Amino acid sequence: MNGAQILTRALEAEGVDIVFGYPGGAIMPVYDALLESKLKHILVRHEQGAALAADGYARSSGRVGVCLATSGPGATNLITGIGNAFADSVPMVAITGQVHSFNMGTDAFQEVDIFGISMPIVKHSFIIRKVEDIGPIIHKAFEIARSGRPGPVLVDLPKDIATDIYDGYQPQEPAKMTLPRVDAKHLAQAKEMIAASKKPLIYAGGGVRIAQATEQLLAFVEATGIPTVATLQGLGAIAGTHDQFLGMLGMHGTKAANLAVQDCDLLIAVGARFDDRVTGKLLDFAPGARVVHMDADPAEVSKLRTADCSLVGDIRTTMNFLHVTPECKEWVELCQKNKKEFDWKYDAPIDTVYAPKFLRKLSDAMSGDTIISCDVGQHQMWVAQHYQFERPECHLSSGAFGTMGYGLPAGIGAKLANPESPVVIVSGDGSIMMNIQELATIRRYNIPVKIVLIDNEVLGMVRQWQELFFNERYSEVSLWDNPDFLKLADAFNIPGIYIDKDEQIDDAIQSIKDTAGPLFVHVKIDQKDNVWPLVPPGKSNSQMMEAAAK
């Protein structure tokens, strides 16, 4: 076997079924080996699309996403997708072709030091120097990508190594993943703190999905009776319709969630990391609370907020040990009262489409296994606020990196990983143009995703901040010259519908449910619709700005 054949065999041994990529000179031996392998290759139209599709595949399935690119610009085009995976702890193996070993370091054609360029945004990386190392390195890359706090691993493969011959490769079983159990003394301390609390609050993050701990979280929430809030990445960790769920916290969180955080006396962080979009002004975040912090990554505990009790290890087993019931009836009633009082309202009579109303209706209409793949901007926050997720794997959103252009390729990856689940891509007119070329991928493989484009002819989130914090000085946010999106979809042979009136919402959602193949739904909204509530940058979460909801 040559090196490229060993590579494809090793990927098969790791259980990989789909790889996303784009061929080129230095990766050609691998593309040659793909012809005889069991791997299905999805040809994207830009390497960034490959990395983001691998991300959507991984987040929605819990498996490792794999992307392939050639050297030089092919490799650098992966970078944003790798950074996105690193920021949101997504397991990924990115394989890049490299120029011949003897040409490395000579500024050869399409040579770039991708090993060096990617270093700050990978969990680990390898340059393969010998053909016999290919198998062990690929297996190690998967183990590292999946273990502990997951992340992307880059493997750079010089072309000559991919064509060298080696017959000693033995496929390995995927490594078993284990996390340390939490120290019993710390568990006892956490239990005491919960039992003694009068105003406890659970703050669930993306770590719940990563640890596949939704069952344990639900049992913990219900056994303790503690009100619960979630981060953007934690949405769906507990069902959006659950009685004890107060909503997302943070910059665009619900009032009930943020008030609870600011007032609680015990904050139980479960797979969350006190991100600045969650805490607002850190010193004023949950000012009267003691903190119990459970996480797989010891570096996150006490990084930003000192934990009074740290529980580092497997959050699934940890939560099972904490089933105590604090006496906090008055607190629970207060949280419930706030939840009811500040609940979303969608009943104002308007003619235009109000995106939050559209999204809540979509949420009500779609099945619980529907995957929503978001882009980045106002529509992303409206999805987070108004779509009620039953499972965290159903909400794909570029959280920490905020990568515009994420939604379309990630939705493609998610649909290929979950062919039985409906996939709806919710995008904006800014974001969708960042990876619009992937409409060709949808067409090529006839991937039946539904694309909801929420179009306000503006970079809405930037416009909102310029309105609020830059004295309405609008700088380079107008997208008045957008293309005709339905003509564009038609050019890729994707059927589309257009709505701009409230009365058309129900029919559009029915089309989403009824259409078998891909569908492009162009939803025109009012440019002045903003995302509320909003905690201004640098302010405490108790200082929420609000406007009259429609």
Partner 1 sequence: MKSNIEITMSNSEGVLERILGCLRQRGFTLCSISATESADESALVAHIKIKSERSIELAVKQIRKLYDVHSVMVEAMEEGQNGYRHLQAATSQA
Q: Which residues are marked as active site?
A: 47, 109-110, 159, 461
Nearest approach, Cβ of 404 to partner 1 (angstroms)? 23
Binding residues vs partner 1 (CB under 8 A): 115-116, 119-120, 123-127, 129, 144, 297-299, 302-303
The alpha helices in 239-377, defined as continuous H runs, are 255-263, 276-279, 315-320, 329-341, 355-365
Euclidean distance between CA atoms 455 and 485, whole angstroms: 10
Euclidean distance between CA atoms 165 and 278, whole angstroms: 52
Encoding tokens for residue 331?
């607190």
Compare residues 38 and 129 and give the one whose CB is closer to partner 1: 129
Under a CB-based contact definition with an 8 Å cutoff, are residues 351 and 374 in contact? no
Nearest approach, Cβ of 305 to partner 1 (angstroms)? 13
Nearest approach, Cβ of 161 to partner 1 (angstroms)? 14
Compare residues 145 and 453 and give the one whose CB is closer to partner 1: 145
Question: Which of 256, 263, 264, 230 has its CA nearest to residue 342?
Answer: 256
Compare residues 158 and 430 and give the one whose CB is closer to partner 1: 158
Phi/psi at 525 (nearest 5 deg)?
Answer: -125, 175
Residue length of the chain = 550
Nearest approach, Cβ of 448 to partner 1 (angstroms)? 39
Compare residues 34 and 154 and give the one whose CB is closer to partner 1: 154
Listed in sequence order, the residues at least 6 apart from 508 whose beta carbon sits closer than 8 Å to its beta carbon are 358, 497, 499, 521, 523
Handedness of CA 129, 133, 135, 141 (dihedral sign): negative
Nearest approach, Cβ of 147 to partner 1 (angstroms)? 10
Under a CB-based contact definition with an 8 Å cutoff, are residues 84 and 50 in contact? no
Nearest approach, Cβ of 472 to partner 1 (angstroms)? 36
Compare residues 304 and 365 and give the one whose CB is closer to partner 1: 304
Euclidean distance between CA atoms 534 and 511, whole angstroms: 33
Residue 264: count of CB within 10 angstroms of its CB: 27
Compare residues 297 and 457 and give the one whose CB is closer to partner 1: 297
Buried b (16+ CB within 10 A) or exposed e, 458-468: bbbbbbbbbee
Residue 542: count of CB within 10 angstroms of its CB: 16
